[in-house]
Copies of this chain bind each other. A is one copy, B any other.
Amino acid sequence: MSKTGLLSLIWDGENLEMLDQRLLPSEIKYSKKTTVQEIWESIRSLEVRGAPAIGIAAAYGFYFAAREAPDTDFESFWKYLKEKSDYLASSRPTAVNLFWALERMEKKVLESKHLPISEIKRLVKEEAEAIHREDEEICRKIGEYGLTLLRDGVGILTHCNAGQLATARYGTATAPIYLAHEKGWKVRVFADETRPVNQGSRLTALELMQAGIDVTLICDNMAAMVMSKGWVDAVIVGCDRVAANGDTANKIGTLGLSILAKYYGIPFYVAAPTPTIDLGTKTGKDIPIEERNPNEVTCSFGRKTAPEGVKVYNPAFDVTPAENITAFITEKGIIYPPFEENIRDVINC
Protein backbone atom coordinates (compact mmCIF):
# COMPACT_ATOMS: atom_id res chain seq x y z
CA MET A 1 0.00 0.00 0.00
CA SER A 2 1.10 3.51 -0.82
CA LYS A 3 2.34 5.76 1.91
CA THR A 4 -0.53 8.08 1.11
CA GLY A 5 -3.09 5.34 1.70
CA LEU A 6 -5.34 3.21 -0.39
CA LEU A 7 -4.92 3.49 -4.17
CA SER A 8 -7.53 2.30 -6.59
CA LEU A 9 -5.06 1.58 -9.40
CA ILE A 10 -1.39 0.57 -9.25
CA TRP A 11 0.53 0.33 -12.55
CA ASP A 12 3.65 -1.84 -12.54
CA GLY A 13 4.80 -0.79 -16.03
CA GLU A 14 3.12 -3.68 -17.77
CA ASN A 15 0.05 -4.70 -15.76
CA LEU A 16 -2.61 -3.04 -13.59
CA GLU A 17 -3.28 -3.93 -9.96
CA MET A 18 -6.87 -2.96 -9.27
CA LEU A 19 -8.64 -2.57 -5.93
CA ASP A 20 -12.05 -4.22 -5.90
CA GLN A 21 -14.16 -1.31 -4.66
CA ARG A 22 -17.28 -3.47 -4.48
CA LEU A 23 -15.84 -5.18 -1.40
CA LEU A 24 -15.21 -1.93 0.48
CA PRO A 25 -15.20 -1.17 3.34
CA SER A 26 -15.08 -4.77 4.57
CA GLU A 27 -12.31 -6.21 2.43
CA ILE A 28 -9.27 -4.74 0.71
CA LYS A 29 -8.46 -6.96 -2.24
CA TYR A 30 -6.37 -6.22 -5.32
CA SER A 31 -6.25 -8.30 -8.46
CA LYS A 32 -4.00 -8.11 -11.51
CA LYS A 33 -5.59 -7.05 -14.80
CA THR A 34 -3.74 -8.01 -17.95
CA THR A 35 -6.40 -8.16 -20.67
CA VAL A 36 -8.91 -5.86 -22.29
CA GLN A 37 -11.67 -8.29 -21.29
CA GLU A 38 -10.71 -8.00 -17.61
CA ILE A 39 -10.74 -4.20 -17.79
CA TRP A 40 -14.16 -4.25 -19.48
CA GLU A 41 -15.53 -6.47 -16.72
CA SER A 42 -14.02 -4.37 -13.96
CA ILE A 43 -15.66 -1.19 -15.27
CA ARG A 44 -18.94 -2.92 -16.01
CA SER A 45 -19.15 -4.52 -12.55
CA LEU A 46 -18.12 -1.34 -10.65
CA GLU A 47 -14.95 -3.02 -9.37
CA VAL A 48 -13.42 0.33 -10.37
CA ARG A 49 -15.45 3.53 -9.88
CA GLY A 50 -14.90 7.29 -9.94
CA ALA A 51 -14.78 9.15 -13.26
CA PRO A 52 -10.98 9.72 -13.42
CA ALA A 53 -10.19 6.17 -12.26
CA ILE A 54 -12.48 4.70 -14.91
CA GLY A 55 -10.77 6.78 -17.58
CA ILE A 56 -7.35 5.59 -16.46
CA ALA A 57 -8.44 1.94 -16.35
CA ALA A 58 -9.91 2.25 -19.84
CA ALA A 59 -6.66 3.75 -21.14
CA TYR A 60 -4.71 0.77 -19.82
CA GLY A 61 -7.38 -1.53 -21.30
CA PHE A 62 -6.72 0.15 -24.64
CA TYR A 63 -3.01 -0.55 -24.20
CA PHE A 64 -3.71 -4.21 -23.41
CA ALA A 65 -5.62 -4.40 -26.68
CA ALA A 66 -2.75 -2.75 -28.58
CA ARG A 67 -0.25 -5.11 -26.95
CA GLU A 68 -2.05 -8.16 -28.30
CA ALA A 69 -3.13 -6.62 -31.62
CA PRO A 70 -1.76 -8.04 -34.90
CA ASP A 71 1.34 -6.12 -35.99
CA THR A 72 1.44 -7.19 -39.62
CA ASP A 73 0.10 -3.91 -41.01
CA PHE A 74 -1.53 -0.74 -39.64
CA GLU A 75 -4.93 -1.53 -41.13
CA SER A 76 -5.26 -4.86 -39.30
CA PHE A 77 -3.76 -3.30 -36.19
CA TRP A 78 -6.23 -0.40 -36.22
CA LYS A 79 -9.23 -2.57 -37.09
CA TYR A 80 -8.51 -4.83 -34.12
CA LEU A 81 -7.83 -1.91 -31.81
CA LYS A 82 -10.89 0.12 -32.82
CA GLU A 83 -13.11 -2.88 -32.22
CA LYS A 84 -11.65 -3.33 -28.73
CA SER A 85 -11.96 0.38 -28.02
CA ASP A 86 -15.66 0.33 -28.93
CA TYR A 87 -16.02 -2.73 -26.76
CA LEU A 88 -14.41 -0.90 -23.80
CA ALA A 89 -16.72 2.07 -24.41
CA SER A 90 -19.70 -0.24 -24.01
CA SER A 91 -18.72 -1.14 -20.45
CA ARG A 92 -20.43 1.89 -18.92
CA PRO A 93 -22.31 3.97 -21.46
CA THR A 94 -22.79 7.03 -19.18
CA ALA A 95 -19.18 7.52 -18.11
CA VAL A 96 -17.89 10.63 -19.88
CA ASN A 97 -14.28 10.10 -18.76
CA LEU A 98 -14.32 6.64 -20.29
CA PHE A 99 -15.05 8.06 -23.77
CA TRP A 100 -12.67 10.93 -23.27
CA ALA A 101 -9.80 8.54 -22.43
CA LEU A 102 -10.55 6.17 -25.29
CA GLU A 103 -10.80 9.02 -27.80
CA ARG A 104 -7.47 10.37 -26.65
CA MET A 105 -5.90 6.93 -27.04
CA GLU A 106 -7.40 6.48 -30.53
CA LYS A 107 -6.16 9.91 -31.55
CA LYS A 108 -2.66 8.97 -30.46
CA VAL A 109 -2.75 5.87 -32.64
CA LEU A 110 -4.08 7.66 -35.70
CA GLU A 111 -1.52 10.44 -35.30
CA SER A 112 1.21 7.80 -35.27
CA LYS A 113 0.04 5.64 -38.16
CA HIS A 114 3.18 6.37 -40.20
CA LEU A 115 5.36 4.80 -37.49
CA PRO A 116 6.25 1.11 -37.09
CA ILE A 117 3.59 -0.76 -35.14
CA SER A 118 5.98 -1.70 -32.38
CA GLU A 119 6.64 2.01 -31.95
CA ILE A 120 2.90 2.78 -31.92
CA LYS A 121 2.45 0.18 -29.18
CA ARG A 122 5.11 1.94 -27.14
CA LEU A 123 3.41 5.31 -27.66
CA VAL A 124 0.04 3.85 -26.67
CA LYS A 125 1.51 2.64 -23.42
CA GLU A 126 3.07 6.04 -22.79
CA GLU A 127 -0.25 7.75 -23.50
CA ALA A 128 -2.06 5.56 -20.96
CA GLU A 129 0.66 6.30 -18.43
CA ALA A 130 0.36 10.01 -19.25
CA ILE A 131 -3.39 9.96 -18.59
CA HIS A 132 -2.67 8.26 -15.27
CA ARG A 133 0.13 10.67 -14.35
CA GLU A 134 -1.72 13.81 -15.45
CA ASP A 135 -4.67 12.94 -13.23
CA GLU A 136 -2.32 12.56 -10.30
CA GLU A 137 -0.74 15.92 -11.18
CA ILE A 138 -4.11 17.68 -11.35
CA CYS A 139 -5.02 16.27 -7.95
CA ARG A 140 -1.65 17.18 -6.49
CA LYS A 141 -1.95 20.74 -7.76
CA ILE A 142 -5.42 21.02 -6.24
CA GLY A 143 -3.90 19.75 -3.02
CA GLU A 144 -1.08 22.28 -3.10
CA TYR A 145 -3.38 25.22 -3.76
CA GLY A 146 -5.83 23.91 -1.16
CA LEU A 147 -3.05 23.67 1.38
CA THR A 148 -2.57 27.44 1.24
CA LEU A 149 -6.07 27.79 2.70
CA LEU A 150 -5.36 25.53 5.68
CA ARG A 151 -3.05 25.38 8.68
CA ASP A 152 -1.70 22.85 11.14
CA GLY A 153 -4.44 21.55 13.44
CA VAL A 154 -7.29 22.32 11.06
CA GLY A 155 -10.72 20.64 11.24
CA ILE A 156 -12.25 19.78 7.86
CA LEU A 157 -15.67 18.46 6.99
CA THR A 158 -16.22 16.66 3.70
CA HIS A 159 -19.14 15.01 1.95
CA CYS A 160 -19.37 11.97 -0.34
CA ASN A 161 -16.15 10.62 -1.84
CA ALA A 162 -14.08 13.02 -3.87
CA GLY A 163 -11.15 10.99 -2.66
CA GLN A 164 -8.19 9.23 -4.11
CA LEU A 165 -10.17 6.04 -4.57
CA ALA A 166 -11.92 7.88 -7.42
CA THR A 167 -8.73 9.24 -8.96
CA ALA A 168 -5.12 8.32 -9.69
CA ARG A 169 -4.02 9.62 -6.29
CA TYR A 170 -4.88 12.28 -3.68
CA GLY A 171 -8.46 12.76 -4.90
CA THR A 172 -9.85 16.26 -5.33
CA ALA A 173 -11.59 17.38 -2.12
CA THR A 174 -9.23 15.13 -0.16
CA ALA A 175 -6.04 16.31 -1.89
CA PRO A 176 -5.34 19.19 0.53
CA ILE A 177 -5.94 16.74 3.40
CA TYR A 178 -3.41 14.19 2.09
CA LEU A 179 -0.83 16.88 1.42
CA ALA A 180 -1.33 18.42 4.86
CA HIS A 181 -0.86 14.95 6.33
CA GLU A 182 2.30 14.36 4.24
CA LYS A 183 3.58 17.67 5.55
CA GLY A 184 3.14 16.41 9.09
CA TRP A 185 0.25 18.70 9.94
CA LYS A 186 -2.41 17.44 12.29
CA VAL A 187 -5.72 17.39 10.43
CA ARG A 188 -9.05 16.29 11.85
CA VAL A 189 -11.58 15.24 9.24
CA PHE A 190 -15.34 14.73 9.64
CA ALA A 191 -16.78 12.52 6.91
CA ASP A 192 -20.52 12.67 6.26
CA GLU A 193 -21.75 9.14 5.63
CA THR A 194 -23.61 10.54 2.57
CA ARG A 195 -26.92 8.81 2.26
CA PRO A 196 -28.32 7.05 0.45
CA VAL A 197 -25.33 5.20 -1.00
CA ASN A 198 -22.91 5.95 1.84
CA GLN A 199 -19.83 6.84 -0.18
CA GLY A 200 -18.65 8.82 2.83
CA SER A 201 -18.70 5.93 5.27
CA ARG A 202 -17.72 3.19 2.83
CA LEU A 203 -15.01 5.04 0.93
CA THR A 204 -13.89 8.38 2.37
CA ALA A 205 -13.67 7.22 5.98
CA LEU A 206 -11.85 4.10 4.80
CA GLU A 207 -9.26 5.74 2.59
CA LEU A 208 -8.42 8.43 5.14
CA MET A 209 -8.11 5.83 7.91
CA GLN A 210 -5.83 3.75 5.72
CA ALA A 211 -3.60 6.79 5.24
CA GLY A 212 -3.42 7.28 9.00
CA ILE A 213 -5.46 10.48 8.95
CA ASP A 214 -7.71 11.32 11.92
CA VAL A 215 -11.21 10.84 10.51
CA THR A 216 -14.55 10.77 12.34
CA LEU A 217 -17.63 9.39 10.64
CA ILE A 218 -20.92 11.22 11.17
CA CYS A 219 -24.43 10.94 9.79
CA ASP A 220 -25.30 13.73 7.37
CA ASN A 221 -27.70 15.29 9.86
CA MET A 222 -24.93 15.68 12.46
CA ALA A 223 -22.93 18.24 10.44
CA ALA A 224 -24.69 21.22 12.03
CA MET A 225 -23.93 19.91 15.52
CA VAL A 226 -20.26 19.34 14.65
CA MET A 227 -20.02 22.87 13.21
CA SER A 228 -21.79 24.36 16.24
CA LYS A 229 -19.09 22.84 18.44
CA GLY A 230 -16.41 24.81 16.59
CA TRP A 231 -14.74 21.66 15.30
CA VAL A 232 -14.88 22.62 11.62
CA ASP A 233 -12.57 25.27 10.16
CA ALA A 234 -13.38 24.54 6.53
CA VAL A 235 -15.76 22.48 4.43
CA ILE A 236 -14.20 20.99 1.29
CA VAL A 237 -16.33 19.12 -1.23
CA GLY A 238 -15.90 17.87 -4.78
CA CYS A 239 -18.19 18.65 -7.69
CA ASP A 240 -19.85 17.08 -10.68
CA ARG A 241 -20.30 20.22 -12.72
CA VAL A 242 -19.63 23.91 -12.15
CA ALA A 243 -21.65 26.43 -14.18
CA ALA A 244 -20.12 29.60 -15.63
CA ASN A 245 -21.51 31.69 -12.75
CA GLY A 246 -20.11 29.35 -10.08
CA ASP A 247 -23.32 27.45 -9.25
CA THR A 248 -22.16 23.92 -8.48
CA ALA A 249 -23.80 20.54 -8.85
CA ASN A 250 -22.50 17.94 -6.44
CA LYS A 251 -23.73 14.94 -4.45
CA ILE A 252 -27.09 15.48 -2.73
CA GLY A 253 -26.51 17.12 0.64
CA THR A 254 -23.90 19.60 -0.53
CA LEU A 255 -26.40 22.46 -0.78
CA GLY A 256 -27.50 21.96 2.84
CA LEU A 257 -23.89 21.89 4.02
CA SER A 258 -23.17 25.16 2.24
CA ILE A 259 -26.07 26.81 4.09
CA LEU A 260 -24.87 25.46 7.44
CA ALA A 261 -21.33 26.65 6.74
CA LYS A 262 -22.64 30.11 5.90
CA TYR A 263 -24.66 30.20 9.14
CA TYR A 264 -21.59 29.31 11.19
CA GLY A 265 -19.21 31.54 9.20
CA ILE A 266 -17.14 28.57 8.02
CA PRO A 267 -15.41 28.80 4.61
CA PHE A 268 -16.95 26.51 2.02
CA TYR A 269 -14.53 25.32 -0.67
CA VAL A 270 -15.23 23.34 -3.84
CA ALA A 271 -12.34 21.28 -5.24
CA ALA A 272 -12.82 21.52 -8.99
CA PRO A 273 -10.48 20.20 -11.67
CA THR A 274 -11.00 22.71 -14.49
CA PRO A 275 -12.54 20.08 -16.85
CA THR A 276 -15.57 19.99 -14.49
CA ILE A 277 -16.14 23.72 -15.06
CA ASP A 278 -18.53 24.04 -17.95
CA LEU A 279 -18.69 27.55 -19.40
CA GLY A 280 -21.48 26.31 -21.68
CA THR A 281 -23.73 25.94 -18.64
CA LYS A 282 -24.73 29.47 -17.65
CA THR A 283 -26.17 28.85 -14.18
CA GLY A 284 -27.24 26.02 -11.88
CA LYS A 285 -30.76 26.21 -13.34
CA ASP A 286 -29.36 24.69 -16.54
CA ILE A 287 -28.03 21.59 -14.78
CA PRO A 288 -30.45 18.65 -15.01
CA ILE A 289 -30.75 16.67 -11.76
CA GLU A 290 -31.03 12.91 -12.09
CA GLU A 291 -33.47 11.11 -9.79
CA ARG A 292 -32.35 7.67 -8.72
CA ASN A 293 -34.02 4.42 -7.72
CA PRO A 294 -36.17 4.70 -4.55
CA ASN A 295 -34.70 1.40 -3.40
CA GLU A 296 -31.48 3.22 -2.56
CA VAL A 297 -33.41 5.01 0.18
CA THR A 298 -35.80 2.28 1.28
CA CYS A 299 -33.50 -0.72 1.44
CA SER A 300 -29.91 0.11 0.64
CA PHE A 301 -28.56 -1.50 3.79
CA GLY A 302 -29.91 -4.93 2.94
CA ARG A 303 -32.90 -4.54 5.19
CA LYS A 304 -36.12 -2.78 4.34
CA THR A 305 -36.22 0.43 6.40
CA ALA A 306 -39.35 1.99 4.92
CA PRO A 307 -42.90 0.85 4.31
CA GLU A 308 -43.70 -1.01 1.09
CA GLY A 309 -44.78 1.34 -1.66
CA VAL A 310 -43.82 4.57 0.12
CA LYS A 311 -43.28 7.55 -2.14
CA VAL A 312 -39.60 8.55 -2.26
CA TYR A 313 -37.79 11.60 -3.58
CA ASN A 314 -34.20 10.61 -4.37
CA PRO A 315 -32.29 13.26 -6.30
CA ALA A 316 -28.67 12.23 -6.93
CA PHE A 317 -27.34 15.80 -6.85
CA ASP A 318 -28.23 19.26 -5.71
CA VAL A 319 -27.03 22.66 -6.85
CA THR A 320 -25.19 24.94 -4.45
CA PRO A 321 -25.62 28.59 -5.41
CA ALA A 322 -22.38 30.43 -6.11
CA GLU A 323 -23.10 32.88 -3.28
CA ASN A 324 -22.59 30.08 -0.73
CA ILE A 325 -19.16 29.15 -2.09
CA THR A 326 -16.09 30.83 -0.63
CA ALA A 327 -13.73 29.70 -3.40
CA PHE A 328 -12.98 27.00 -5.96
CA ILE A 329 -9.75 25.09 -5.61
CA THR A 330 -8.55 24.15 -9.12
CA GLU A 331 -5.29 22.80 -10.47
CA LYS A 332 -4.70 26.26 -11.92
CA GLY A 333 -5.20 28.13 -8.66
CA ILE A 334 -7.83 29.32 -6.23
CA ILE A 335 -10.80 31.12 -7.76
CA TYR A 336 -12.51 33.71 -5.55
CA PRO A 337 -15.62 35.76 -6.34
CA PRO A 338 -16.72 37.43 -8.50
CA PHE A 339 -16.89 33.96 -10.05
CA GLU A 340 -18.37 34.78 -13.43
CA GLU A 341 -15.32 36.87 -14.28
CA ASN A 342 -12.64 34.97 -12.41
CA ILE A 343 -13.70 31.52 -13.59
CA ARG A 344 -13.55 32.71 -17.20
CA ASP A 345 -10.09 34.17 -16.65
CA VAL A 346 -8.71 30.95 -15.17
CA ILE A 347 -10.26 28.69 -17.81
CA ASN A 348 -9.05 30.84 -20.66
CA CYS A 349 -5.55 31.40 -19.37
Which residues of A does B touch, CB under 8 Å? 24-26, 190, 192-196, 198, 201-202, 205-206, 209, 214-226, 228, 252-253, 255-256, 259-260, 262-263, 297-298, 300-315, 318
Contacts and interface: CB of A to CB of B under 8 A. Distances in A.
A307 B206 contact: yes
Main secondary structure of the interface of A (DSSP, over half): mixed
A196 B310 CA distance: 19
Given A263-B259, A305-B198, A253 B221 contact: yes
Given A201-B297, A312-B218, A209 B307 contact: yes
Given A25-B306, A259-B224, A305-B25, A196 B219 contact: yes
A219 to B, nearest CB: 4
Given A201-B297, A263-B263, A221 B312 contact: no
Given A193-B195, A302-B302, A306-B201, A225 B25 contact: no
Contact of A221 (B194, B226, B300, B306): B194
Contacts of A215: 310-311
What is the copy number of this chain in the assembly? Answer: 2
B252 A222 contact: yes
A305 B194 CA distance: 11
A305 B24 CA distance: 8
Contacts of A193: 195, 297, 305-306
Given A304-B25, A304-B26, A318-B224, A201 B255 contact: no
A301 B298 contact: no
In the complex, the 4 A-B pairs of residues with the closest C-beta atoms, listed nearest first: A221-B253, A301-B301, A224-B256, A220-B221
Contacts of A224: 253, 255-256, 259, 318
26 contacts: A26-B304, A190-B313, A194-B221, A195-B219, A196-B219, A201-B297, A201-B305, A202-B305, A202-B306, A215-B310, A216-B311, A217-B297, A218-B314, A219-B252, A220-B221, A221-B221, A221-B256, A222-B315, A222-B318, A224-B259, A225-B318, A226-B313, A228-B255, A259-B260, A259-B263, A301-B303
B298 A201 contact: yes
A252 B221 contact: yes
A25 B216 CA distance: 30
Contacts of A307: 24-25, 202, 205-206, 209
A218 B296 CA distance: 11
A42 to B, nearest CB: 22
A194 B260 CA distance: 18
Given A25-B306, A215-B311, A224-B253, 14 more contacts: A25-B304, A26-B304, A193-B195, A193-B306, A195-B195, A205-B307, A205-B310, A209-B309, A209-B310, A217-B306, A219-B297, A221-B256, A222-B313, A226-B313
